[in-house]
Structures are given as C-alpha cells and as structure tokens.
C-alpha cells in the first residue's frame, strides 16, 4: 500500500516528520492521491524556501518581472477577476440549513463533486505545501493554517500577506486544531490562466475546518488564508464568544496630543474603508480582517490576522492616496495583478498619469478601444485590479502592528453609503444600539453598475458575503460580546456620501479626517454632543475647530446644517426597509428592541418638531452628553 513517504523525497519527508503531526500527513497524502502532482514540496519558514516560491512563479510564467526588479505582474483569466459567489458554497450535513443568504450544498454530494474535479488536477505540476499563522505569532489570537496549492503565485502572495507559521505548527503537538486549504488552478492556457472556469468551485467545510478550491487563480477564490479563512474563523468565533470581522484597525492620533486611540472599522465596498484606515497623520495595523477578543482586564483587544495588503489599485493616485502611491513606486516587493503593463511599467485606472495606448493586460494584447467578445470596451486595467504588499515597509504602519496581545480597541466605526439619509458621523446611544446600526448597514450602488445607480444594498457589518452561521447567532454573538466586556468600545456610524439636489457631494474626500478626530475626542470625553434619534452628533463649534486645526479649512454653518440635518422621513423609510429585509428570519430580541426604540424616537421627534427635516441648530445640547 502506498504511504506518504513513498510520495516525498527524503528532504521533504523529513520536513513533514519534523512537525510530528499525523493529521498533516493524512491530509497531504489524501490530496496528493487525488490531485496526482509530479512532485510534493514542503516549504518551511526559511528565506531559501520563500525565495524559491517567488522564482518558481517567475519561471513557470504565473508572474513576470517588471522594470523594477522587485516588482512582478500576474494575470488572472478574463472571467476570473473577482470572488465567485455562485460557486462558493458551504458544505452542510444532510437536512441542515443556515440562512437564505448563504449558498450551500449537501456535504457528501459536494465533496463527491469537487473531489472528481480535483482528480488529476495537479498532473505535471508541483504541489506546494505552505504553513502560516493567522494573527501574531505565539498569541491568543494565533490560528495555524496550512495551504496546499499548485500555484506558485498563490504561495508567493501568501508569503507577502501572512506570517510564516512552520515553527508555530510544531507547537500543535499532533493536534488537528488548524485550518487547511486545498487549491488547484487546474488546467492552464498559454497565458498560464485557468481555463475550465465552468468547473470552478470553492467549497467550505466548516466541520473539517477546511476549504477546497479549484479552477481559479483570483486571490479571493484561491488564497485560502484570506476571505476563505475569514469564513472558517467566523464559524469558530461564533461558537467561542469572540468576533471575526471584516474590519480595519488604525491608530488615531489627535492634533497636538501624544496619545494613540485604536479604532476598528467595517465598510462595504466603495464606502471608504481603506481610505479611512490610511488617513494622513494616522497609523495602520490592518485594512481587511481582524479578530476581536475579550482580554484579561475585560477590555476589547484586536489583532490583524494578516501582515500585508491585497488592495484595489483603481484610483490610487498621489493626491488621494499619497502613502500607498509612494509605496507602489518604491523598490519594495510588490505583485501587481490585472493592470496594464507597457515597456516594463504598470498602469492602472485613476492613477493620475497618462497611460500608453498599447500594452498587455488581463485580456492579452491590449490597445485603446479594444472590445471583448460581448462587445464591451476593455479598459486598460480591470476595475478590480490589485496590488499585493507587505505592511512592514509602509511609512505609516503602527509600531504595535505585531504586538502579540493586539491593541485595545476604544471605538468601532460602521460606514455606509447613501446620498440622502444618514449624517457624516454619529455616536451610537449604547453598545446594543451600535450593534443595531452595524446590522442595518446599507450601501448605494454607483454608476459603475448599469441601470442600478442609487439602489440600496443591505450589508450587515459589511460582512454578509462571509457570514456562515445563521444571522440570529451572528448578531447574538455581538450583543453577548459587548455584555461580557468591562469596558466597551464606543460605536459610531459614518456616511461620506451625502449629496445636494444637484447630485454634488456635500463634503470632500479629505473631510473624513475631521469626523474620525471628533469620534476620537468623544472617546476621551473632550466634546459635548447633540442627542438625536439615531445617535449623538457634533456641535458646530467643535467640528469647525477640528476642520480648522487638522485640515486648515473653514467649515461653514451652512455646510454643517446641510450635512447634519436629521432627515426624519428618510430615516423612517430606512427603518422600514431594514424591518422588511430581515422579515424572512428570526433575530435576537435585542435587535427588535433597538429597532422599535429607534422607530419611536423618530416618530416622537417628528411630532415634537412638526417637520421632516430638522436642523441641528434647532436641537438642544445636553452638557452631560
């Protein structure tokens, strides 16, 4: 009978035996038997193995060097440019269900299907086995994760984005409490992109703490440690009373003060998440995924599970994103994905620089005016084109980014996008009210979606695509988490996208700094506030002073009034939308209590002021707030 040592040469077999973990051996043996690679390579934390992966990605054509020798470029297939929601499914035991928003498949039939697709998928290719740690090493946040892939691009990306964890795996002592991910890009064309996209599958096995993925290369589908690991962590967190969230962590530094206040923030796509985390003068710990846990002192601590950024490159330019733009033009290691390459240089949409008329992009040879088989114009760079970088070389990285205890979180921000309803910044009335605000997040679609502009999409905690437990359980865990804390972070809501009657934005992109600095001051009880039905809002004199000091900008009474007017009818309409949206499922009692209380406050306000739109100058200021 074939054994694991029959599949490995002596050097690689010893790397596995060194871990002393039968579960790891069993997984590798099973997947190698199915996928049939020409060779199995076990990679540890050494610089030698890290460099080997990068060179393999170049030699096999998955990446190419650019003019800057530390920069490479990778292309996903033309129809492999984003997360495949349709074919991403949770494997469930027969007869079990979760929620209607979760795409599922019966476990045994799902495994049978994907095993069949994976069969012989690695023939002629190397199986790369890589070990990582989600979260800081040797920490209460740490979760060990093993990646098996036949894509050197995937392994190279994860080397940049995550902490090496081979040594961490040694400490498991033959336990199987780790995540593992199996990926095959499948058959490739001459451009080294997956061709059998009709058989693309991403199946999530919650019981097995694993994800099986095949016939894709786009990182959201192929890099197991990213959004696929987020789903496994959400399942784990909701059974262990901690939170795994789609959030950034940033250090907020008020003007002329020496303190740092740590914020987490969840924003749906195109709502300002990364730009908030990268506000000038502030520091970043992470921009995408965090674990939140209750620390020994009863405070909320958070850690970034990643050590890099897989960021959208569209509109990164020296004016709006100076720190990232500077980094993308540095000599640091970078993987560019799905941008235009011409004469060894990368070009992307919105970079603030004139671009060539010809080059290579995700469609192959490209020229201005090129159309695809459907007749659609192909832009020079895909709108979801990306950059992959390590955080350690960013000039604004926080000094505690690698702290094994994480950082104490004093505020959580939920950011939505609407043109006519929510104020730019509001503090929740309580922890439970803040959870309700997060659960009620909405985001308007933009002109990038044909025929859909202005349509509101519901996105609870900006996490809907990744929640793999019933919403009742997910929201309940948030309420319970707050109750268990001795010191709760203050929850805020933001909206950077209010417009006037002509469709122009009421504030600029840079104004978000003022909202965040006001929130930081509220954490430290430095500002009074006005109580409204949807939360506490700033006084004009305070926010105007922040604008002057931090942005060197005059903030007029007229601007304040337009932005912080309480739009009662619009807020009531939102409350009704939220009620209708969740009508299909049972939610925690706290949710309904908060929804009912907010509805009553809004109706009472309307009766008291006898109008739909109430100026903040008409509202009472409570000096105790």
CATH 3.90.228.20 spans which residues of the chain? 245-307+401-622
- Examine the pLDDT at 548 and tell me if it is beyond 70: yes
Residue 239's CB: how many other CB atoms inside 10 A?
12
Which run of H or E residues covers position 249?
Answer: strand 248-252
Of 177, 133, 156, 165, nearest to 223 (Cα)? 156
- Examine the pLDDT at 625 and tell me if it is beyond 60: no
- Predicted confidence (pLDDT) per residue in 112-129, tens digit: 999 999 999 999 999 999
For the chain, what percent of residues have pLDDT higher than 90?
Answer: 86
CA distances from 256 to 60, 167, 546 (A): 53, 43, 12
- Examine the pLDDT at 447 and tell me if it is beyond 50: no
Residue 98: pLDDT band with limits 50, 70, 90: confident
β-bridge pairing 126-134 and 243-245: unpaired
Which residues are CB-neighbours of 238 under 8 A, at least 6 positions away?
469, 473, 474, 477
Please report, in angstroms and rounded to a whole number, the separation of the first and last CA atoms in the chain.
73
- Examine the pLDDT at 291 and tell me if it is beyond 70: yes
Residue 96: pLDDT band with limits 50, 70, 90: confident
CATH 2.170.8.10 spans which residues of the chain? 310-392
- Examine the pLDDT at 400 and tell me if it is beyond 70: yes
CA atoms within 13 A of residue 493's CA, in its CB half-sphere: 32
- Examine the pLDDT at 444 and tell me if it is beyond 90: no
Mean pLDDT of 556-570: 96
Task: Kindly state which CATH superfamily the domain 310-392 is placed in.
Answer: Phosphoenolpyruvate Carboxykinase, domain 2 (2.170.8.10)
Mean pLDDT of 502-509: 90
- Examine the pLDDT at 173 and tell me if it is beyond 90: no
CATH 3.40.449.10 spans which residues of the chain? 4-64+75-237
- Predicted confidence (pLDDT) per residue in 240-283, tens digit: 999 999 999 999 999 888 899 999 999 988 788 888 999 999 99
Whether 305 contacts 134, CB under 8 Å: yes
Q: Which of 35, 133, 264, 271 is catalytic?
A: 271
> What are the tokens at 125?
């290719």
β-bridge pairing 334-337 and 71-74: parallel
Q: For residues 504 and 146, give the distance between their C-alpha atoms in angstroms, rounded to a whole number.
A: 48
Whether 139 contacts 305, CB under 8 Å: no
State the residue for tokens 């199946």: 203
- Examine the pLDDT at 623 and tell me if it is beyond 80: no
- Examine the pLDDT at 624 and tell me if it is beyond 50: no
Chain CA centroid to CA 99, Å: 22
Sign of the torsion angle spanned by Cα atoms 323, 326, 331, 334: positive
CATH of 4-64+75-237, one of 3.40.449.10, 3.40.47.10, 1.20.1740.10, 3.90.1150.10: 3.40.449.10
- Examine the pLDDT at 401 and tell me if it is beyond 60: yes
- 35 noted as active-site residue: no
State the residue for tokens 């979801």: 384
- Examine the pLDDT at 399 and tell me if it is beyond 90: yes
Residue ranges of E strands in 152-224? 163-164, 179-184, 201-205, 210-214
Question: What pLDDT, on a 0 to 100 scale, did the predictor assign at position 452?
Answer: 54
State the residue for tokens 């954490």: 523
- Examine the pLDDT at 327 and tell me if it is beyond 70: yes
- Predicted confidence (pLDDT) per residue in 353-377, tens digit: 999 999 999 999 999 999 999 999 9
Which residues are CB-neighbours of 530 under 8 A, at least 6 positions away?
536, 537, 538, 539, 616, 619, 620, 621, 622, 625
Q: For residues 539 and 527, give the distance between their C-alpha atoms in angstroms, rounded to a whole number.
A: 8
Whether 235 contacts 468, CB under 8 Å: yes
Which residues are CB-neighbours of 2 under 8 A, at least 6 positions away?
33
What counts of helices (H) and strands (E) characterise the chain? 18, 34
Please list the residues that pair with 409 across neighbouring strands. 262
Q: For residues 10 and 30, give the distance between their C-alpha atoms in angstroms, rounded to a whole number.
A: 19
- Predicted confidence (pLDDT) per residue in 184-200, tens digit: 999 999 999 999 999 99
- Predicted confidence (pLDDT) per residue in 586-605, tens digit: 999 999 999 999 999 999 99
Class for the domain spanning 245-307+401-622: alpha beta
CA atoms within 13 A of residue 310's CA, in its CB half-sphere: 25
Of 547, 506, 521, 321, nearest to 424 (Cα)? 506
Of 22, 357, 21, 331, nearest to 169 (Cα)? 21
Which run of H or E residues covers position 495?
Answer: strand 490-495
Instruction: Tell me if residue 490 falls in helix, strand or coil.
Output: strand
Q: For residues 210 and 298, give the distance between their C-alpha atoms in angstroms, rounded to a whole number.
A: 32
Question: What pLDDT, on a 0 to 100 scale, did the predictor assign at position 2?
Answer: 62
Residue 1: pLDDT band with limits 50, 70, 90: low
- Predicted confidence (pLDDT) per residue in 459-473, tens digit: 999 999 899 999 999
Residue 185's CB: how many other CB atoms inside 10 A?
29
For the chain, what percent of residues have pLDDT higher than 70?
Answer: 97
Question: What pLDDT, on a 0 to 100 scale, did the predictor assign at position 448?
Answer: 37
CA distances from 409 to 240, 255, 472, 488, 518 (A): 19, 20, 25, 9, 16
> What are the tokens at 363?
């469609």
Question: What pLDDT, on a 0 to 100 scale, did the predictor assign at position 518?
Answer: 98
Bigger pLDDT: 503 vs 62:
62
Residue 614's CB: how many other CB atoms inside 10 A?
20
pTM of the model: 0.94
């Amino acid at each position: 009978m074939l054994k694991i040592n029959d599949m490995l040469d002596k050097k690689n077999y010893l790397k596995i035996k060194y871990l002393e973990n039968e579960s790891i051996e069993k997984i590798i043996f099973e997947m190698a038997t199915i996928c049939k690679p020409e060779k199995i390579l076990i990679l540890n934390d050494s610089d030698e193995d890290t460099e080997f992966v990068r060179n393999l990605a170049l030699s096999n054509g998955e990446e190419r060097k650019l003019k800057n020798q530390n920069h490479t470029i990778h292309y996903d297939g033309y129809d492999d440019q984003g997360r495949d929601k349709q074919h991403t499914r949770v494997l469930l035991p027969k007869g079990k269900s979760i929620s209607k928003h979760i795409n599922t498949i019966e476990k045994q039939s799902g495994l049978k299907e994907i095993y069949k697709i994976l069969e012989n998928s690695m023939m002629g290719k190397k199986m790369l086995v890589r070990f990582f740690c989600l979260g800081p090493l040797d920490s209460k946040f740490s979760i060990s994760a093993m990646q098996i892939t036949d894509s050197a691009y995937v392994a190279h990306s994860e080397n940049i984005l995550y902490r090496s964890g081979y040594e961490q795996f040694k400490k498991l002592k033959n336990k199987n409490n780790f995540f593992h991910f199996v990926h095959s890009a499948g058959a490739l064309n001459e451009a080294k992109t997956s061709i059998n996209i009709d058989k693309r599958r991403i199946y999530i096995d919650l019981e097995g703490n694993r994800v099986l993925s095949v016939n894709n290369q786009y990182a959201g589908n192929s890099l197991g440690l990213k959004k696929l690991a987020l789903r496994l962590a959400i399942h784990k967190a909701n059974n262990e009373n901690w939170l795994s969230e789609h959030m950034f962590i940033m250090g907020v530094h008020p003007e002329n003060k020496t303190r740092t206040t740590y914020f987490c923030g969840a924003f749906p796509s195109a709502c300002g998440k990364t730009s908030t985390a990268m506000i000038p003068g502030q520091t970043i710990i992470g921009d995408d995924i965090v674990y939140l846990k209750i620390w020994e002192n009863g405070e909320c601590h958070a850690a970034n599970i990643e050590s890099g950024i897989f960021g959208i490159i569209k509109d990164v330019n020296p004016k709006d994103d100076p720190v990232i733009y500077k980094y993308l033009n540095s000599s640091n290691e970078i993987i560019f994905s799905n941008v235009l390459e011409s004469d060894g240089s990368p070009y992307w949409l919105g970079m603030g620089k004139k671009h060539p008329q010809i080059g290579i992009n995700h469609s192959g040879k490209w020229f201005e005016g090129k159309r695809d088989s459907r007749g659609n114009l192909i832009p020079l760079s895909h709108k979801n084109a990306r950059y992959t970088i390590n955080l350690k070389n960013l000039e604004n990285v926080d000094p505690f980014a690698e702290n094994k205890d994480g950082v104490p979180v004093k505020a959580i921000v939920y950011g939505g996008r609407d043109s006519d309803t929510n104020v730019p910044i509001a503090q929740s009335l309580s922890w439970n009210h803040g959870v309700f605000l997060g659960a009620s997040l909405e985001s308007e679609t933009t002109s990038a979606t044909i025929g859909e502009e202005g349509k509101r999409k519901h996105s609870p905690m900006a996490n809907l695509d990744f929640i793999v437990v019933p919403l009742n359980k997910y929201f309940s865990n948030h309420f319970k988490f707050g109750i268990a804390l001795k010191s709760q972070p203050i929850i805020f809501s933001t909206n950077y996208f209010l417009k006037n009657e002509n469709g122009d934005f009421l504030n600029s992109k840079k104004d978000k700094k003022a909202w965040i600095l006001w929130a930081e001051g509220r954490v430290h009880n430095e500002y009074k506030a006005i109580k409204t039905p949807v939360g506490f809002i700033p006084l004009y004199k305070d926010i105007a002073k922040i604008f002057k000091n931090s942005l060197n900008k005059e903030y007029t009474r007229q601007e304040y009034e337009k932005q912080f007017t309480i739009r009662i009818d619009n807020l009531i309409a939102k409350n009704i939308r939220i009620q209708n949206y969740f009508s299909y499922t049972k939610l925690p009692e706290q949710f309904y209590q908060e929804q009912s209380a907010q509805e009553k406050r809004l109706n009472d306000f309307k009766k008291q002021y006898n109008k739909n739109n109430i100026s903040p100058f008409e509202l009472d200021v409570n000096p105790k707030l």
